[in-house]
Amino acid sequence: MKTSAAWRSFIPVVAIAIALSSGCKKESKEVITDHPRLSPQVKMQDVVFRSSALQRDMEYRVILPATLPSDKKLPVIYLLHGGGGGFRDWSNYSDVAQIAERGFILAMPEGNSSYYTNSAEKPQDKYEDYIVQDLILDVEKKFPAAVGRENRAIAGVSMGGYGAIKIALRHPELFFFSGGLSPAVDVPTRPFSIKRISQWRFHSSIFGPSGSATRRENDPFALARSVDPRNAPYFYFVCGDQEGLLPADRNLTALLTRQHIPSEFHVVSGGHNWTQWSASAKDMFESLEKNMQRKALRSQNR
């Protein structure tokens, strides 16, 4: 049987498409390049430990001063990555190691795409419990970490910013400071959109159906209305002036102010990216240190 001219011309196109497809699949399996920004004044360690909440092994990265007295205990800052990222992000895309030089332990856990929330549909994905129970316990067991609320802070970018704000509101007894760089605080209350139906379905798998109890339990706005301001952490917000998250972040900080919960909010130039977050992190850590010093002075004057 003779092959038509049209079909003969089509065969190379199919072959090229298959080759390109194979090349894409191969590229997606490549190992992510790790390029932490460190200095001689710090040391880094990646840890794999068993999470009881998730019933599987999880990774986290720690950066701390290279040398310190054997009896010295340091405060810990838990840093949460954003959606599509991983536990290496903070060390790879920011100069966060500089804060470790000033006497802090930085703990950066793997959060996958969990929003650091106990999943409504997957009982095995208890990511909030993994952070507040398993991770803190493991860090304080393996590193020279000072224990107690006054020695713990939590911060994050985007999805991690939401996680840091939400977890601090749900567990104010654990952290004295919470920072959100472009925090996606509106995710649990975002309405259905046909344009983003796959995103809506994914969020529903984590937070549950619209109007459900699990949505309310993980909504920073609802949590801000119920937390006792006398026991609340200090909240630090930053959002870029080019971001769609700006109205929601501004609204939440306004609510915190009305509820007499200590907070500050900054609008900076930039978008939803590590260029903005790395620059903003410096001021956030300065605020963290100032609040820690204030608390120490209050304790001394009592």
Looking at residue 302, what is its pLDDT?
A: 66
Looking at residue 5, what is its pLDDT?
A: 47
At position 14, the amino acid (one-letter code) is V
Domain ranges for the chain, please list them.
30-301
User: Residue 269 corresponds to which tokens in the numbers above?
Assistant: 């130039």
Looking at residue 32, what is its pLDDT?
A: 67
- Nearest Cα neighbor of 171 from 188, 153, 185 is 153
Taking only the tens place, the pLDDT of each residue in 222-238 is: 999 999 999 999 999 99
User: Residue 151 corresponds to which tokens in the numbers above?
Assistant: 């020695």
Q: Strands, E, within the chain: which ranges?
A: 42-51, 56-65, 76-80, 105-109, 152-157, 177-181, 234-240, 263-268
Looking at residue 297, what is its pLDDT?
A: 76
**Does domain 30-301 correspond to CATH entry 3.40.605.10?**
no
Taking only the tens place, the pLDDT of each residue in 145-174 is: 999 999 999 999 999 999 999 999 999 999
Contact (Cβ atoms closer than 8 angstroms) between residue 231 and residue 223: no
User: 3-state SS string over 32-92?
Assistant: CCCCCCCCCCEEEEEEEEEECCCCEEEEEEEEEECCCCCCCCECEEEEECCCCCCCCHHHH
Which residues, in sequence order, are CB contacts of 54 under 8 Å at separation 6+? 124, 125, 126, 127, 130, 134
Q: Which residues, listed in sequence order, are joined to residue 177 by a DSSP beta bridge? A: 153, 234
Looking at residue 1, what is its pLDDT?
A: 44
Q: Which residues, listed in sequence order, are joined to residue 64 by a DSSP beta bridge? A: 43
All residue ranges of the chain with pLDDT < 70 are 1-32, 299, 301-302
Of the CA atoms within 13 Å of residue 45, those in its CB half-sphere come to: 10
Pairing of strands 56-65, 105-109: antiparallel
Measured between alpha carbons, how far is 21 from 292 in angstroms, rounded to an integer?
Answer: 53
Looking at residue 136, what is its pLDDT?
A: 98
